[in-house]
Chains A and B, each alone.
Chain A
Amino acid sequence: MKSNDRVTTSKADSSAAVSQVSPSILPANNLELVESWGRASQGISHVYRPTTVDGLKDLFQLARETGSHVGLRGGGNSYGDAAMNDEHILIDLRRMNRILAWDPKSGVVTMEPGVTLAQLWQYTLEDGWWPPVVTGTMATTIGGCAGLNVHGKNAWQVGPIGDHITSFELLLASGELISCDRGNNSDLFHAAIGGFGVLGCFTSVTMQMKPVYSGLLEVQTESRANLAEMFSYFEENLESSDYIVGWIDAFASGTSLGRGDVHKANYLPQGADPYPNQTMRLDYQHLPDTILGLVPKSIIWMFMRPFMNNLGTRMVNTAKYNAGRLGGPKVGRQPHAAFHFLLDYVPNWKQAYGRGGLIQYQPFIPKENAQDAFADILKLCQQRGLPNYLTVFKRHRPDDFLMTHGMDGYSMAMDFRITDRNRSRVVSLTQELDEIVLAAKGRFYFAKDSTLHRETTELYLGQDATEKFRALKKQYDPDNLLQSNLWRRLFS
């Protein structure tokens, strides 16, 4: 196949109705088992790993010739089915991973979609720049981050990552490359960011980095006795902090409902770090491979496994909360990587959840409704005997992306362990939770979702946004070439 083959649409038209007509099939050799990040769902896809834009175009052409759909996958860190495309082509973009341009004076970087956040900060930190928004793991790719418009622990200050992307190139299903920024193709710019990979494939993304004057952050940790205290801490510290994240012990009830720890962090101003050249060096940021210099971190998940049940997690949470409370507030300086990439601290920790894996349920609720709604949510989970094992609390701000989850409010990310026995109970619990969230005018987040339905999705996005997104999909991908399990579940 030549890369400059003209893309024809005639074959794809027949694909929906009768695919016997298609002249060829995909070879079985590329079949791979693909899991959601949380491992709660699996599927088989024809996985391809192109290295160039031409290779990517060839795959779009192959899809048309074989009546296949194309799904896009980056680091595979979406908790649910956003990066899955069962039985069809799934393009793993991690080999398109070159940093195409970097200007250490302006901090503007242009990247291929498979560049990971790890690659990015390791490339720029010694020049004094840090990504403006990072996820809890550095294994995410810039294509995935843009496609799902991810946020960090500074979301209320700087918005999602889309707010820092200045332009991108998008490969449309037709094989045409299109440049988008806030001025040109502005509709597509605001829809493809957060458009979960069904409008086109990012081939290069340009982003403005954030200047830093130290490899360290000023970090402060203290415990909060209940949900009201948790909220008041956030509201009091929003102005004066660069990052805040809360951890909630979802087992605590009654007057302790919503208790937990808060971690806030600030950049060091210029001059505050006496040895910035040293702290911004990569070896200073390195996450250690062992705990206490002895125990290899790669086996720690095995020791976590016995605690991954209601009793064990309750014990661990209580111990963690009390240790934080008795120790009093802690202040200190921490490397960026250590503060941000907590999910990388224990490798493979998700395996501690066992064979059934985990899902995350993360509602976003406007600030005026958030405290009541989150209290209701925590109580309902406890009533149903399904307290979540890890609960993370963050503050957000609105943005102007079409499919956004952002708002002037809070989010609570809740990890549920999935087993064969509790699976159906978790499904019905999330439906009950959906009602609380929708009643509180809340939103959801495609990077995390495993449980929404088409109807609930339309309710939270609103009919206008949904219709506009469908219209753009029709305009830029009339044959519905780009799909994913998530797209089919929520939009088709």
Chain B
Amino acid sequence: MANNFSKPARPLEPERRAVVIGASSGIGAALVEALASQGYQVAAVARRAPQLTALCEGINQTAGMPGHAAAYTHDVTEFEKVPELFQQIVRDLGGLELIAYVAGLQHDVAVDEFAFAKDAAMIRTNLLGAIAWLNQAAIRFQRAGSGQIIGISSIAGDRGRVASPVYNTSKAGLNSYLEALRNRLTRHGVTVTTIKPGFVDTVLLEHAPKTFWVISPADAARQILKAAQRKRQVAYVPARWGLVGMIIRHIPSFIFRRLSI
């Protein structure tokens, strides 16, 4: 948890600084690497300390990137700890230009299973954790008159489906929350980008039996940053999922409720 970013601010040499929540593996880890390689100083936040430390050490040992990543161990469901950790991170970084909320949890749920514990866990990680962190970023970006917020949602949030009711709910809730943030903050110069990844080669795929168009986390991270830098509001990653999303969103309910997707 040591502060690696000890360089004092220099007026004419502004730094770019980012925080990634849910950074220990998958898209989050790939985003940390991609941001660091673009010159950002990145605070990597996640629950699993060993993976996180290894990630940051790997980045800091890469030529030209010493001191570009630092690990912060944190469980996103400990909401009450977020304000303090957020303040510590922005102090360590000396500022903040970008935040990405990547933490996500998808429990395997059978089609006839209604398990509240699993459901609550998904809501807490996927939605409430995002709100706890992005609220913090929202107020400071609003005051700063600039900033970028990236929320990793999912194509799964487009419809409520038989296979994963509450995972869908958490992502649909996240979509609405991000849209509301965007509507609040665009007028203050802040961009909010909702990312809807299709199949990315991460642990979440273990529970997705029929996979295709799978891309690596590194590819996903590249496309996510590109979408954010182009100030996209909503971006499917890869883009072809946009077509799938459009079709799924438009399937009439009398058909959709007979399908098992």
Binding site for B on A (CB under 8 A): 18-20, 22, 25-26, 28, 31-33, 36, 40-44, 80-81, 86-88, 359, 418, 423, 426-427, 450-451, 485, 488-489, 492
Taking the nearest CB of chain B, how far is it from the CB of A16, in angstroms?
A: 9
B64-84 residues with Cβ-Cβ distance < 8 A to A are 83-84
**Option from B13, B95, B136, B145 in Cβ contact (under 8 Å) with A427:** B13
Taking the nearest CB of chain A, how far is it from the CB of B97, in angstroms?
A: 11
Write out the residue numbers on chain B whose beta carbons fall within 8 Å of the beta carbon of A43: 9, 95
Q: Mark B123-157, 1 if CB is under 8 A from A, else 0.
A: 00000000000001001100111000000000000
Write out the residue numbers on chain B whose beta carbons fall within 8 Å of the beta carbon of A451: 10-12
Please tell me if the beta carbons of A32 and B143 are within 8 angstroms of each other in the complex.
yes
Q: Does B252 contact A (CB under 8 A)?
A: no
24 contacts between A and B (CB under 8 A): A20-B84, A20-B88, A25-B83, A25-B87, A31-B144, A33-B143, A33-B145, A41-B9, A41-B12, A42-B144, A44-B140, A81-B9, A86-B94, A87-B91, A87-B94, A88-B91, A359-B11, A418-B12, A426-B12, A427-B12, A450-B11, A450-B12, A485-B8, A492-B8
Please tell me if the beta carbons of B11 and A28 are within 8 angstroms of each other in the complex.
no
**Option from B9, B12, B91, B136 in Cβ contact (under 8 Å) with A19:** B91
**Option from B11, B14, B87 in Cβ contact (under 8 Å) with A26:** B87
Taking the nearest CB of chain B, how far is it from the CB of A324, in angstroms?
A: 33
Please tell me if the beta carbons of B84 and A25 are within 8 angstroms of each other in the complex.
yes
Look across to chain A and name the residue whose beta carbon is closest to the beta carbon of B136. Answer: A28
**Option from B9, B83, B136 in Cβ contact (under 8 Å) with A489:** B9
Taking the nearest CB of chain B, how far is it from the CB of A37, in angstroms?
A: 11
Please tell me if the beta carbons of A33 and B12 are within 8 angstroms of each other in the complex.
no
* 7 nearest CB pairs, A to B: A41-B11, A488-B8, A450-B11, A31-B143, A87-B91, A28-B139, A489-B8
Q: Tell me, in angstroms, the Cα distance from A42 to B144 when the chains sit together.
A: 9
Q: Which of A87, A423, A450, A451 counts the most B-chain CB atoms under 10 A from its CB?
A: A87
Please tell me if the beta carbons of B9 and A488 are within 8 angstroms of each other in the complex.
yes
Q: Tell me, in angstroms, the Cα distance from A426 to B11 when the chains sit together.
A: 12
Q: Does B215 contact A (CB under 8 A)?
A: no
Taking the nearest CB of chain B, how far is it from the CB of A362, in angstroms?
A: 15
**Option from A22, A36, A87, A492 in Cβ contact (under 8 Å) with B11:** A36
Look across to chain A and name the residue whose beta carbon is closest to the beta carbon of B13. Answer: A427
B1-46 residues with Cβ-Cβ distance < 8 A to A are 1, 8-14
Q: Tell me, in angstroms, the Cα distance from A32 to B139 when the chains sit together.
A: 10
Q: Which of A19, A28, A423, A489 counts the most B-chain CB atoms under 10 A from its CB?
A: A28
Q: Tell me, in angstroms, the Cα distance from A418 to B88 when the chains sit together.
A: 31
Write out the residue numbers on chain A whose beta carbons fall within 8 Å of the beta carbon of B145: 33
Q: Does B90 contact A (CB under 8 A)?
A: yes
Please tell me if the beta carbons of A44 and B95 are within 8 angstroms of each other in the complex.
yes
Q: Tell me, in angstroms, the Cα distance from A440 to B191 when the chains sit together.
A: 49
Taking the nearest CB of chain A, how far is it from the CB of B139, in angstroms?
A: 5
Given contacts A41-B12, A489-B8, is CB(A33)–CB(B144) below 8 Å? yes
Please tell me if the beta carbons of A80 and B11 are within 8 angstroms of each other in the complex.
yes
Write out the residue numbers on chain B whose beta carbons fall within 8 Å of the beta carbon of A32: 143
Q: Tell me, in angstroms, the Cα distance from A423 to B12 when the chains sit together.
A: 7
Q: Tell me, in angstroms, the Cα distance from A451 to B9 when the chains sit together.
A: 11
Q: Tell me, in angstroms, the Cα distance from A41 to B85 when the chains sit together.
A: 26
Q: Tell me, in angstroms, the Cα distance from A199 to B94 when the chains sit together.
A: 23
Write out the residue numbers on chain B whose beta carbons fall within 8 Å of the beta carbon of A488: 8-9
Write out the residue numbers on chain A whose beta carbons fall within 8 Å of the beta carbon of B14: 41
Write out the residue numbers on chain B whose beta carbons fall within 8 Å of the beta carbon of A492: 8
Write out the residue numbers on chain A whose beta carbons fall within 8 Å of the beta carbon of B140: 28, 31, 44
Please tell me if the beta carbons of B88 and A19 are within 8 angstroms of each other in the complex.
yes
Please tell me if the beta carbons of A87 and B90 are within 8 angstroms of each other in the complex.
yes
Given contacts A36-B11, A40-B11, A450-B11, is CB(A31)–CB(B1) below 8 Å? no
Taking the nearest CB of chain B, how far is it from the CB of A424, in angstroms?
A: 8
Please tell me if the beta carbons of A18 and B8 are within 8 angstroms of each other in the complex.
no
Write out the residue numbers on chain A whose beta carbons fall within 8 Å of the beta carbon of B10: 451, 489
Taking the nearest CB of chain B, how far is it from the CB of A268, in angstroms?
A: 42
Write out the residue numbers on chain B whose beta carbons fall within 8 Å of the beta carbon of A427: 12-13
Look across to chain B and name the residue whose beta carbon is closest to the beta carbon of A85. Answer: B9
Q: Tell me, in angstroms, the Cα distance from A36 to B83 when the chains sit together.
A: 27
Q: Tell me, in angstroms, the Cα distance from A20 to B80 when the chains sit together.
A: 13
Q: Which of B9, B11, B85, B90 counts the most A-chain CB atoms under 10 A from its CB?
A: B11
**Option from A31, A40, A450 in Cβ contact (under 8 Å) with B139:** A31
Taking the nearest CB of chain B, how far is it from the CB of A451, in angstroms?
A: 6
Taking the nearest CB of chain B, how far is it from the CB of A78, in angstroms?
A: 11
Write out the residue numbers on chain B whose beta carbons fall within 8 Å of the beta carbon of A28: 83, 136, 139-140
Q: Tell me, in angstroms, the Cα distance from A423 to B9 when the chains sit together.
A: 15
Taking the nearest CB of chain B, how far is it from the CB of A70, in angstroms?
A: 14
Q: Tell me, in angstroms, the Cα distance from A300 to B84 when the chains sit together.
A: 46
Write out the residue numbers on chain B whose beta carbons fall within 8 Å of the beta carbon of A450: 11-12
Please tell me if the beta carbons of B12 and A359 are within 8 angstroms of each other in the complex.
yes
**Option from B9, B87, B143, B144 in Cβ contact (under 8 Å) with A485:** B9
Write out the residue numbers on chain B whose beta carbons fall within 8 Å of the beta carbon of A22: 84
Write out the residue numbers on chain B whose beta carbons fall within 8 Å of the beta carbon of A426: 12
Look across to chain B and name the residue whose beta carbon is closest to the beta carbon of A30. Answer: B143
Look across to chain A and name the residue whose beta carbon is closest to the beta carbon of B143. Answer: A31
Taking the nearest CB of chain A, how far is it from the CB of B194, in angstroms?
A: 23
Look across to chain B and name the residue whose beta carbon is closest to the beta carbon of A88. Answer: B91
Q: Tell me, in angstroms, the Cα distance from A485 to B9 when the chains sit together.
A: 7
Please tell me if the beta carbons of A81 and B11 are within 8 angstroms of each other in the complex.
yes
Q: Tell me, in angstroms, the Cα distance from A25 to B11 when the chains sit together.
A: 27
Q: Tell me, in angstroms, the Cα distance from A491 to B214 when the chains sit together.
A: 52
Write out the residue numbers on chain B whose beta carbons fall within 8 Å of the beta carbon of A81: 9, 11
Write out the residue numbers on chain A whose beta carbons fall within 8 Å of the beta carbon of B1: 18, 20
Look across to chain B and name the residue whose beta carbon is closest to the beta carbon of A69. Answer: B91
Write out the residue numbers on chain A whose beta carbons fall within 8 Å of the beta carbon of B87: 25-26
Taking the nearest CB of chain B, how far is it from the CB of A305, in angstroms?
A: 21
Write out the residue numbers on chain A whose beta carbons fall within 8 Å of the beta carbon of B88: 19-20
Write out the residue numbers on chain B whose beta carbons fall within 8 Å of the beta carbon of A42: 144
Look across to chain B and name the residue whose beta carbon is closest to the beta carbon of A28. Answer: B139
Q: Tell me, in angstroms, the Cα distance from A359 to B1 when the chains sit together.
A: 36
Q: Tell me, in angstroms, the Cα distance from A25 to B84 when the chains sit together.
A: 6
Write out the residue numbers on chain A whose beta carbons fall within 8 Å of the beta carbon of B94: 86-87
Q: Tell me, in angstroms, the Cα distance from A406 to B139 when the chains sit together.
A: 44
Q: Mark B95-118, 1 if CB is under 8 A from A, else 0.
A: 100000000000000000000000
